[in-house]
Each structure stands twice: as C-alpha cells, then as structure tokens.
Amino acid sequence: MSEKPVDPTVVVVLPGGGGEPLAKALEAQLKAGAPPAPPVTHELWGEGEGQVTVGGAVLPYKVKVEGLVLRHEDEGHAQVRVSVTTYLRPGAAPGARPITFCFNGGPGSSSVWLHLGAFGPRRVLLTPELSPRPPFVLSDNAYTLFEESDLVFVDPPSTGWSRAQAGQDAKTWHGVTADVEAMSELIRLVLTREGRWASPIFLAGESYGTTRVAGIALRLHERFGVSLSGLVLISCAIDIGTLEFHPGNDLPYVVILPTLAATAWYHLGREGDLNELLAEVEEFALEDYGPALMKGARLPADERRVIAERLSLFLGLSREYIERCDLRVSLERFIKELLRDRRRTVGRLDGRFVGADRDGGGEISEYDPSFSSILGPFTAALHQHMHSLGVRRDDEYRIITEKVNPWRWDGAENRALNMSEALRKVMVQQPHLQVFAASGLFDLATPYMATDYTFDHLVLDGSVQSRIQHERYPAGHMMYVHEPCLVQLKSHLSGFYARCLGAEE
C-alpha cells in the first residue's frame, strides 16, 4: 500500500519541538521535485460594502484594500508590493463600466488626496478655512467620481503601504522610467485579475501624478496594447521646465505671473473682477514681459523701468525691489515678500493661505501653510477609513515621504523633465483619447498658465487639440478641498466622461 503524499504547502508543528525536522523533511521533498506552493500575487488586508447617494441616486459599492505583488518579468521573483484601494459597483457588467486608476504626485505622495478629497465615495469634511478641529470627520461624498466609474487608488512604491520585497532595493523604483514601468504593470495586473480589459479605461493624476500618467498612457499603449478613453490631469506638471526657477530659464517667471497677480489681488484687497485682471496680466506676460526678459542685458533702461512699474502694479511689490530682482521675482521670493510688512508668508499650494515664519527677514519660507492645514485631517481620515474596513497593519502608511529621494530624473539630469512628447504621441496614436485638465487660479506650485503653455506647444493639429479641455477654478493646487470648486469639478468631469463614452455625440 503506497503512502499518501505529503502536501508541501502545509507544515505541521509537533509537540516537543518536532516542527523543525518535519520542515526539513518537507524541504527535502520539495527539492526532490514536489510542486512548490503557488507564488503570492496579492494580500487582502481589508474589505467592506457601502453606498453613497449622488444626485438622488443610491450607488452601492464594494471596497477592498490589498497589496498586489509585482514580479520580475523573466525570473518571476517578487519585486515590490503595491498597496491599492479599489471601489467596484456590484452587479455591473465588468466590460461595460469604466475603471479609473488614480495617482497623486510628489514624487513621494500616496493616493490619499484624490482618494479622500475628491474622487472616492468618502471624503474628509473640512471647514471653509480648511482647518477643522479634531475629531476629524469622514462623510459620504456626494460629488464622487464613482457615479461615472469604478475607482482604483494606487500608492506607488515606498508610499502608502507599498514596499520593496525581500532582497529587493526600494531605490529601483525611485525614478521616472522605473516608476512608469511599475505602475503600468500594476494596471495590467488589475485589468487581468478583475477581468476589465474590455472596460473603458481612464487614468487620473495630480501634480507629479500628471507626469506619471502621461508616461503610463504611452507605456500602456506601446507595451500592452491598452487603449485609453480619457486622462484626467489635476494641477499639471507635464513640462517641469515651466515650473523650476533656474538661472537662464525665464519661462517660469512668465507663466506664473497671472497666479502671482491673483494672489496679490486676494491679499491686498484689490478692487475689480479677478478674471478681467487675469486676462490683462496674461496679455502683458505674453506681449511685453516675456519679450523683455528675452532681451536680457539688451533691454533699454526706459523699457526696463516701464516693465518694472507694470510688475509693481500687478504684484503689489515696490518697483525698486523688482528692479533689484532683475525683473524676475521667483516663487520663493514672492511667498516671503508680498506680506513681509506683516511678518507673514503666503502658501505655495494655495496662495490664499497665510503663514508666519520665525525669521521675518528671510528669503525662504519655513513651511507651506496651505499644506499643513490639511495634512492632519487627511492623515486621521485615512487611518479611520482603513480601520473601518478591517485593515490591521502595524507598519506606517506613508501619506507623503522623502524616502523616494533622490529621485532619478532619467535622461533629464541636465535639463528639465518634459513628458509632453509622451502625451502628444499617445493622443495622436489613439484617436478617441480625450484629456481633461483642472487648474487652480491660486496654485503657485503648478500655475494654470504653465498648463496652457504646455498644451499650446504639443504641436497637435486642430482636430487633436480640440480633444483637450482645460478648466480653471478659484482655488489652489487641490481645488477639490474647496467644496464649491469640488461641485464644479464634479460637473465638468461628468460631462467629460460622457463625451469620452460617446454619450454626447
């Protein structure tokens, strides 16, 4: 009578310490040719069900929090575990309902901001000043994107609960190319596991997340043959050259000018319509200020004085100060200088916020008051939400981390990273792909005119260019934390998704 074979996936621990010999015996059996246990592809950490009311309709959803393991393409060993939170509509036909993959930026940020601030079925309740007292409240989100699409919120490697696996170096994924490749593979894995290859597929990103999304869109198309329906770009950072103030790069000074003027208008109690002011400043930036900076040392003294006086009028800074800055008031200088007489600074993510530094005479602000005001509420809400779903993890959920630094800017070390070409290629190659962009009028980090500049220089013909929609909101980088803007954003996105799906044709 033959013996029953031992299941190599089961280890029995015997009384008196017999587990170790048995384990060795099982190891020997495995080496002898017994089939190994199947590799772990995911870890389910929590799940639940809920419903949210949107426009009078009750939308049920299922949510799960899991770690998806990405493996080496050829060797098959585990490389990195990516934490993902997914919201699915129960009973919906998988191939018909859209699915949207959401990424925040940094690099080094988790997906908490889009998850619990804008798109998810639950959101953080904030006061009009965005600084509620504890206890912080998480409520149903009547403006959720779940009405239009299933949602997948992704934490890139080293953020959230995403971690490199045993024997792997986390730095491997801390770079532009590796990040795009890993997140593209994550999307492929989700589409396969959930049976969603036939679904309309959307990508959504914020800030550096827009950089990431542009790269992912092209990678998905060229590597996996994925056709996308739409890209949602919140606070664009597609062309980093429009955002970084370096010697010899005059472009950021030009494209940030309307946002600086809007911030001065807000704090200095200027009269008049903001949109009319912005139109005037945009014209000045393009017709007068930009060409003046291009002249450099050749700029005549009288023209220089006229430019300085106009800048003084728009920015609320003295003409003498502007001339000492060589007509170039950088972001950091403006943040410190606008309210220096009050010993106050203004926010970077939202210029309407005010902070107070220890050194009132310094040149660089100590912190961003527009970020510090929301960090606590979002952190508490994330952990509250995860706990309600049964997640019990002792390791830190990294809301935002410096562990991804130094970030590898792959091929852009001697120039600013520009993902415009990736965006252009995928738009040309996918004739139905639509792009929606949202910008805040008071966002000093990614000014709206920088986004206009990026789109205006994609070198697209009119039929392709018409597939780009850019909306502005009277708020900052995270315009959705301001509820009236969230309402507007929801309305715009509802129309955008309808167009992408052919409902408005």
| pLDDT tens for each residue of 252-306 | 999 999 999 999 999 998 889 999 999 999 999 999 999 999 999 999 999 999 9
Distance, CA of 213 to CA of 208 (rounded, Å): 9
User: Same domain, yes or no, for 323 and 395?
Assistant: no
Residue 113 belongs to a domain? yes
Is residue 451 within 8 Å of 486, Cβ to Cβ?
Answer: no
pLDDT of residue 493: 99
Residues 468-496: pLDDT tens digits?
999 999 999 999 999 999 999 999 999 99
Determine the structural domain holding residue 47 and report its residue range. 42-242+383-500
Q: Give the tokens for residue 125.
A: 């309740």
343-367 mean pLDDT = 91
> Is 209 part of any domain?
yes
Mean pLDDT for the stretch of residues 380-393: 96
With both helix axes pointing from N to C terminus, report the angle between 420-429 and 208-224 in degrees, rounded to the nearest 10: 40
The tokens describing 173, both together, are: 């994924």
> Is pLDDT at 40 greater than 90 in this prediction?
no
Residue 184 has pLDDT above 80, yes or no: yes
Residue 16 lies in a domain: no
pLDDT in tens, 56-94: 999 999 999 999 999 877 767 788 999 999 999 999 888
Does residue 30 belong to any structural domain of this protein?
A: no
Q: Are residues 146 and 196 in the same domain?
A: yes
Instruction: Point out the domain boundary residue: 342, 367, 392.
Output: 367
CATH number at residue 49: 3.40.50.1820
Q: Does some domain include residue 293?
A: yes
pLDDT band at 127 (very low <50, low <70, confident <90, very high): confident
Asked if residue 186 and residue 284 are part of one domain, the reply reads: no
**pTM for this entry:** 0.90
| Cis bond before residue 406 (omega within 30° of 0) | yes
Tokens of 432: 């139905």
Q: Are residues 420 and 359 in the same domain?
A: no
What tokens were used for 309? Answer: 């006086």
Calculate the average pLDDT of the chain: 90
Euclidean distance between the first and the last CA atom of the chain, given in angstroms as a whole number: 73
What's the pLDDT score for residue 362?
83
> How much is the pLDDT for 94?
80
Find the Cα–Cα–Cα–Cα dihedral 120, 121, 125, 129, rounded to 10°. 40
* Alpha-carbon distances, residue 476 vs 26, 185, 281, 479 (angstroms): 60, 32, 18, 5
Over its C-alpha atoms, the chain yields an Rg (Å, rounded) of 26
DSSP at 481: G
Task: Map residue 275 onto helix, strand or coil.
Answer: helix
The pLDDT of residue 227 is above 50:
yes
5 found inside a domain: no
Same domain assignment for residues 420 and 331? no
Asked whether residue 302 is assigned to any structural domain, the reply reads yes
User: Of 80-94, 122-136, 197-211, 476-490, which range is least confident?
Assistant: 122-136
Structural domains in the chain (count): 2
- pLDDT value of residue 28: 54
Largest pairwise CA distance in the chain: 106
Helical H segments across 117-250, by residue range: 176-194, 208-224
Considering 306, 333, 367, which residue would you say is the last residue of a domain?
367
Same domain, 401 and 468: yes
Structural domain ending residue among the three candidates 318, 339, 367: 367
* Cβ–Cβ under 8 Å, residues 479 and 441: no
Same domain for 391 and 431, yes or no, is yes
Residues with Cβ within 8 Å of residue 464, at least 6 apart in sequence: 427, 428
Same domain flag for 328 and 393:
no
For residues 452-475, one letter each, b for 16 or more C-beta atoms within 10 angstroms of the residue's C-beta and e for the rest, the string is: bbbbeebebeeebeebbbbbbbbb
Q: What is the pLDDT of residues 316-353, one digit of tens each?
A: 999 999 999 999 999 999 999 999 999 999 999 999 99
Are the beta carbons of 246 and 297 closer than 8 angstroms? no
Are 80 and 213 part of one and the same domain? yes
Q: What are phi and psi of 173, to 5 degrees?
A: -100, 5
Indicate if 218 and 319 belong to the same structural domain: no
pLDDT class for 35, splitting at 50, 70, 90? Answer: low
Look at residue 251 and tell me if it is in a domain. Answer: no
Do 134 and 229 lie in one domain? The reply is yes
- pLDDT the model gives residue 411: 67
Same domain, 478 and 331: no
